Amino acid sequence: MIETLIWLIGYQLAGELICRSLALPLPGAVLGMLLLFLTLCVKKGIPASLNTHVPQLLGHFSLLFIPACAGVIVYWSLLTAHGWSLLATLAGATLITLLVPAVLLKLLLARRRRGDAA
Partner 1 sequence: MNVTPALDWLRGSPLLGLGLTLAAYRLALWLNRRAHGHPLTNSVLIGSLLVIAVLLGCGISPAEYMKGAQFIQLLLGPATVGLAIPLYHNLSRLKRAALPLSLTLLAGSLTGILSAVGLGAAFGLPHQILLSLMPRAVTTPIAIGIAEHIGGIPALAVTFVIVSGIFGAVIVKPLFSRLRLDDDLVMGVATGIAAHGIGTARVFLLSETAGAFAGLAMGLNGLVTAVLVPIVLGFMHL
Q: What are phi and psi of 27, to 5 degrees?
A: -70, 145
**C-alpha 56: how far from its chain's center?**
17
**Considering CB under 8 A, how many residues would be counted as binding partner 1?**
72
Residue 17 touching partner 1 (CB under 8 A): no
Could you tell me if 2 and 23 are in contact, meaning their C-beta atoms sit under 8 angstroms apart? no
Residue selected from 3, 20, 37, 48 as contacting partner 1 according to rule CB under 8 A: 37
Residue 60 touching partner 1 (CB under 8 A): yes
Residue 78 touching partner 1 (CB under 8 A): yes
Residue 20 touching partner 1 (CB under 8 A): no
For residue 115, give Cα distances in angstroms to 75, 101, 106, 108, 110: 51, 21, 14, 10, 9
Could you tell me if 8 and 47 are in contact, meaning their C-beta atoms sit under 8 angstroms apart? no
Residue 117 touching partner 1 (CB under 8 A): no
Residue 118 touching partner 1 (CB under 8 A): no
Residue closer to partner 1 (CB basis): 70 or 117 = 70
